[in-house]
Amino acid sequence: MAKKDETKKGSYEARYNELVIEDQEAIVRISSITADRLRNIFGLHFSKTEGGPADPRVPLIIFTETYDAVIEHLVKRRKGTAKMDAKQYDSFQLNFANRFVIGFDNVENDDDEKEGNFMIFIKDIRDGKTVEEPRDPDACPSEKAVEWVNQNITENPEAIKEISLDALDRLAKYGICFYNHELIMPIFCTMYDTMVEYIDMERKELDDYEYEINFAGCFFVSACENADGGSDIIFRPSIDSKTALKDDGSSGSR
C-alpha cells in the first residue's frame, strides 16, 4: 500500500520517474551528492521522516522544476510579457551565480525564423572562482540562503526572484513546499556544480574523450577533453526547451 502512495500521480516521486529515463545511475549519484552538500552547507534535509535518510529525488525535482521556470521566463522575455519588463527581446540571458548562463538568441536561417526557432543556449562560465558560502554555521537554512543569494546573484536579481517564486508554485504541485524563495537558487546552483564535477570526473576516470548524460530531460550535458587536458562542458538543450520559444506560443515546458 505504501508503495502505491509513494508513486501516486502528482507526487514528486512520479514526476521523477517520468523524467529520469536515461542515465539513472549517474543522476542518482549526482542527486545524492547534492543532497549531502546542501545538508552540510545550508542545513537542508530532504528526508520524509525526521532524522531519516535523504531522498535524492527531491533536489533533482527542485532542479528540473526551476529549470522549467527559467525557460518560461525566457519565453516571457521573448514575447515581452515579463512582469518587470514589457520589452520584446531578440536575445537575452540570465547569469546564475557566475557558474552558468541560460538564454536565447535569434537564428540566422530565414526558414528557421519562419518556424519560430529562437535557439536556447546554456553555457558554463566558471572561471575558477568559488561561490561564496554562508559564514555563520549557526544560522537557519533560510538565513543562510538569503546570505548566499545576496552574495552570489549579482545580475538580474528581480528576474531570478520571479523565477524562484514560479519554481515554488511548480514544486508545491508535487508536494515539495518551501516558505522562502531564496532557498531555490542555492539548490539549483549546487546541483549544477555537482553535475559538472561528476561528468568531468567520469570522463577522466573512463579515460574517454567525451562523457555525456541526459539530465532528466532538461538537456544533454557532456564533458569533452580540451587541448589542455581538462574538460569543456557542452550542453545540448532538449527539444522541449527549444520549441518553448516558438513565436506562436504553442509549445511550453515539459
Is residue 237 in some structural domain? no
**Portion of the chain with pLDDT greater than 90, in percent:** 65
Counted domains in the chain: 1
pLDDT over threshold 70, residue 250: no
* pLDDT reported for residue 84: 79
Work out the average pLDDT over 60-78.
95
Is residue 136 in some structural domain? yes
Is residue 67 in some structural domain? yes
Is residue 238 in some structural domain? no
**3 pLDDT tier (thresholds 50, 70, 90):** very low
Over the stretch 206-238, which tens digit does the pLDDT of each residue have?
999 999 999 999 999 999 999 988 899 999 988
- Torsion angle in degrees (nearest 10) through CA of 237, 241, 242, 247: -160
* pLDDT reported for residue 28: 97
* pLDDT reported for residue 80: 87
Report if pTM > 0.85.
yes
Is residue 162 in some structural domain? yes
Is residue 68 in some structural domain? yes
* pLDDT reported for residue 248: 44
Is residue 208 in some structural domain? no
**1 pLDDT tier (thresholds 50, 70, 90):** very low
Over the stretch 189-210, which tens digit does the pLDDT of each residue have?
999 999 999 999 999 999 999 9
What does the H/E/C string look like for the chain?
CHHHHHCCCCCHHHHHHHHCCCCHHHHHHHHHHHHHHHHHHHCCCCCCCCCCCCCCHHHHHHHHHHHHHHHHHHHHHHHCCECCECCCCCCEEEEECCCEEEEEECCCCHHHHHCCCCEEEEEECCCCCCCCCCCCCCCCHHHHHHHHHHHHCCCCHHHHHHHHHHHHHHHHCCCCCCCCHHHHHHHHHHHHHHHHHHHHHHHHHHCCCEEEEEECCCEEEEEEECCCCCEEEEEEECHHHHHCCCCCCCCCCC
* pLDDT reported for residue 233: 96
Residues 6+ apart with CB under 8 A from 252: 72, 75, 244
Residues 131, 152: Cα–Cα separation, whole Å: 7
| 37-46, 70-79, 195-204, 245-254: least confidently modelled range | 245-254
* pLDDT reported for residue 243: 58
Is residue 219 in some structural domain? no
Domain around 164: 2-194
